[in-house]
Structure 1
Amino acid sequence: MSKILFVVTGADTWTLADGTAHPTGFWAEEVVAPFEAFRDAGHEVVVATPGGVVPTVDRASLAPEVNGGRENADRIAAALASFSGLRRPVRLEDVRVEEFAAVFYPGGHGPMEDLAVNGDSGRLLVRALESGMPLGVVCHGPAALLAAVGPDGVNAFAGHEVAAFTNAEEIQGGLADRAPWLLQDRLTEAGLLVRAGEPWAPHVVTDRNLVTGQNPASSAPLAQELLKRLG
Structure 2
Amino acid sequence: MAPKVLVVLTSYSFIESANAPTGWYLPEFAHPYDVLAEKGIEIITASPKGGVAPLDPGSVERFKEDPSSVNFKATKSALWENTAPISSFLGKSSEYAALFYPGGHGPMFDLVSDKDSIALIAEFVSAGKPVAAVCHGPIVFANVKRADGKGLLEGKEATGFTNEEEELAAMTKHMPFLLEDKLREVGAVFRKAEKPYDAFVLVQDGGKLITGQNPASAKGVGEEIVKAIGV
Under a length normalisation based on structure 1, what TM-score does the superposition of the two structures give? Answer: 0.90
SS at match of 1:116: coil
Unmatched runs of 5 consecutive residues or more in structure 1 = none
CA deviation digits over 1:55-105, x for unaligned, max 9? 111111011xx33xx4326x5233123222222211100102221001110
- What is the aligned counterpart of 2:33 among 35, 42, 46? 35
One-letter code aligned to 2:14: T
Q: Does 1:184 align with 2:180?
A: yes
Contact 1:166/1:183 (<8 A) preserved: yes
How many angstroms does 1:161 deviate by?
Answer: 0.9
Match of 1:140 among 122, 136, 140: 136
Give the distance between the partners of 2:12 and 2:201, measured in 1 at CA: 25
2:196 aligned partner, one-letter code: P
Contact 2:54-2:80 at 8 Å conserved across structures? no
Higher helix share: 1
Residue matched to 1:79:
72
Aligned residues: 223
> Alpha-carbon deviations, 1:130-189, whole Å to 9, x = none?
222121110000111123147997523222111100001001111113323101001111
Paired residue type of 1:91: P
Give the SS at the match of 1:71.
coil
1:199 aligns with 2:196: yes
1:4 matched residue in structure 2: 5
Find 1:171's aligned residue among 167, 172, 175: 167
Structure 2: unaligned runs, 5 residues or longer: none
Instruction: Quote the residue 1:221 is aligned against.
Output: 220
Amino acid at match of 1:102: A
Describe the SS at the equivalent of 1:212: strand
Q: Secondary structure at the match of 2:165?
A: helix
Distance 1:189 1:46 in 2: 32
Q: Secondary structure at the match of 2:66?
A: helix
AA of the residue aligned to 1:80: K
Partner deviation per Cα, 1:110-133 (whole Å, 9 max, x = no partner): 000100110110111112122221
Distance in structure 2 (CA, Å) of the matches to 1:212 and 1:150: 17
- Percent of aligned pairs sharing the same letter: 33
Q: What TM-score results when the alignment is normalised by the length of structure 2?
A: 0.90
Aligned position for 1:94: 88
More divergent stretch after superposition (93-102 vs 162-171) = 93-102
Question: 1:32 and 1:183 mapped to 2: Cα distance?
Answer: 22
CA contact (8 A) 1:9 1:49 kept: yes
After alignment, is 77-86 or 5-14 more displaced?
Answer: 77-86
In structure 2, the partner of 1:58 is 56
Q: Select between 103-112 and 133-142 the one with higher mean Cα deviation.
A: 133-142
SS in 2 for 1:137: strand
1:25 corresponds in structure 2 to 23
- 8 A contact 2:141–2:153 mirrored in 1: yes
- Whether the 8 Å CA contact 1:211–1:222 is kept in 2: the answer is yes
Q: Per-residue displacement from partner, 1:38-63 (whole Å, max 9, x unpaired)?
A: 11110100000112131111111011
